[in-house]
Structure 1
């Protein structure tokens, strides 16, 4: 009887490992579609841990916040500092310097992994793998 119980515990103890391996494989998937910020915010529970591509206006206060704006959904996707050295970040900085103080906006495509922000369970952040497809939009300076 005792051997039977140990065998049952051993088998049931192994089952969660298979499930968590499957979850790890799923969370390392790169999704091919380019998302809007609103699509990510609306489906963040499913997309967390996924590597996604997002195209949106880049916004920063040049001090504490950098993110991809989603004005139509009233939330932004925060840029996580873990990706501060991602390829293309120097181009972002150069273009932000160029448009600082103007009404122009920088649109950028960011590829990266989604995660929850540290300070709020409502906040979603992207850890950039790369920045690309830069476009400055808006009125020119006189």
Structure 2
């Protein structure tokens, strides 16, 4: 049952990426080009995502336990360290250079979009390197 729930949520996420234009690197790069061909439409996508996440987290965490799992896995750390600064900075640089982040890149790969054949292996290599560098760090808190 968990597989079917995850599949349905993944398909919903992919459709949302397609409808919002997030799987089109040109649209993403135009959003980042504030001095040129700025396209503000992705700001509305982000605002909608923040609103849904805000309400969703409030409703889900009020339940006490997840529907499709035995417990919530929440981060235990709340301090700011070099990893918290470097990780998002590298993510943002990659996003700005390639016009992709992981979810839209996988969606665009399925559509045969150019650029994904270089981006996906680089993304996987980066995830592997981050995992190697992060071994031994704090584990998630169980609620």
Report if TM-score (shorter chain) is over 0.5.
no
Higher relative contact order (CA 8 A, sep 6+): 2
Bigger strand share: 1
Bigger helix share: 2
TM-score, normalised to structure 1, is 0.23
TM-score, normalised to structure 2, is 0.23
| Structure index of larger Rg | 1
